[in-house]
Amino acid sequence: MMLGSSVVSLVRKLQEKYNLQPWIVFGLLHLSARVVGFWTPNILLYLIEKNKIFLRYKIQPTRAPKSELVGEALKHNIATDAATYWAVAFFFYKLLTVDLKHKDDSETETGIENNKKHGWANIRFGGAAPKFGTMAWQVFLGFLGYDFMFYWSHRLLHSPQFYKRVHKKHHMFHTPIGISSAHEHVVESIFQLFNWYIPLGVVGYLAGDLHACTIFYYNVFRWLEAVDAHSGYKFPFSPFHVIPIFGGATRYTNSIIATNLSQANILSRTCFN
């Protein structure tokens, strides 16, 4: 709770000081989540690998990806955070804040610094954050929606029309590492971004409220889950290993070895087994 509130408070101070547009604030929330949920665990994984710690938990202990491929993935992710993501933030903020109904003046006179809800997803940057339980069910429901969309888009990416031209780039990491979770073709990135944001918007629409703290925690959760699945380590203390509904690193690594599988976390376990 404190981390999310602190991040949102810092972002709002930057917005007030520099008069930032809401879509930039939206982008800063995701980049903050990337630092917490993507870059931090990847640095830890690098240190674990470099110092050969937890070797008993490594799924492919005698294998490692090519250094050139790791360098390519690293440069791609840095470039994404530095440049590409701002276009993404602009597009998806505009998409999530399209007004589906007309509001009177009393509803629209407030701004980002207070309780104004933006668009059909009811995004709210100001005001008190929801209670932990509210944020938890919103994050989990958003993840369920992501899992559903990911399953079907992943099946499409494994079709003959898309696999060699698009999805094969992601499978270049025969020995996955955390940073490979975001190593993909631009077309696959577009698929993933819709999978990522549309379910979150639907949650905000259904709940009538989607606070910036919830958005931050959703992004952190999604990145942690993605990095864990691609980490190449079966950590017994990882919640994504302990909780059965998540696939975890072992399941993902097995799917990479098999190459032509479409795996989600929950949908493929509950509906297609």
pLDDT digits (tens, 9 = 90+) for 27-68: 999 999 999 999 999 999 999 999 999 999 999 999 999 999
Mean pLDDT of 2-19: 90
Query: What per-residue confidence (pLDDT) applies to 251?
Result: 61
Query: What per-residue confidence (pLDDT) applies to 104?
Result: 47
The four Cα atoms 209, 243, 271, 194 give a dihedral, to 10 degrees, of: 40
pLDDT digits (tens, 9 = 90+) for 182-220: 999 999 999 999 999 999 999 999 999 999 999 999 999
Query: What per-residue confidence (pLDDT) applies to 50?
Result: 95
Task: Please tell me the chain's helix, strand, coil percentages from 3-state DSSP, rounded to the nearest 5.
Answer: 65, 5, 30
Mean pLDDT of 128-150: 96
Cα-to-chain-centroid distance, residue 10: 21
Q: Give the confidence band of 1 by pLDDT, cuts at 50, 70, 90.
A: low
Query: What per-residue confidence (pLDDT) applies to 110?
Result: 39
Return d(Cα 100, Cα 87) in angstroms, integer.
23
Query: What per-residue confidence (pLDDT) applies to 225?
Result: 95
Q: Give the confidence band of 142 by pLDDT, cuts at 50, 70, 90.
A: very high
Mean pLDDT of 75-97: 96
Query: What per-residue confidence (pLDDT) applies to 107?
Result: 40
Residue 258 has pLDDT above 90, yes or no: no
143 in helix, strand or coil? helix
Return d(Cα 27, Cα 80) in angstroms, integer.
12
Task: Pick from 11-20, 92-101, 219-228 the range whose average pLDDT is largest.
Answer: 219-228
Mean pLDDT of the chain: 88
Cα-to-chain-centroid distance, residue 43: 17
Higher pLDDT, 253 or 42: 42
Return d(Cα 124, Cα 115) in angstroms, integer.
6
Domain ranges of the chain: 2-101+124-270
Query: What per-residue confidence (pLDDT) applies to 227?
Result: 96
Query: What per-residue confidence (pLDDT) applies to 244?
Result: 72
Bridge partners (DSSP) of residue 117 are 124
For residue 255, which amino acid is it?
Answer: S
CB atoms inside a 10 Å sphere around CB 191:
21
Q: Is the pTM of this model over 0.75?
A: yes
Return d(Cα 147, Cα 272) in angstroms, integer.
13
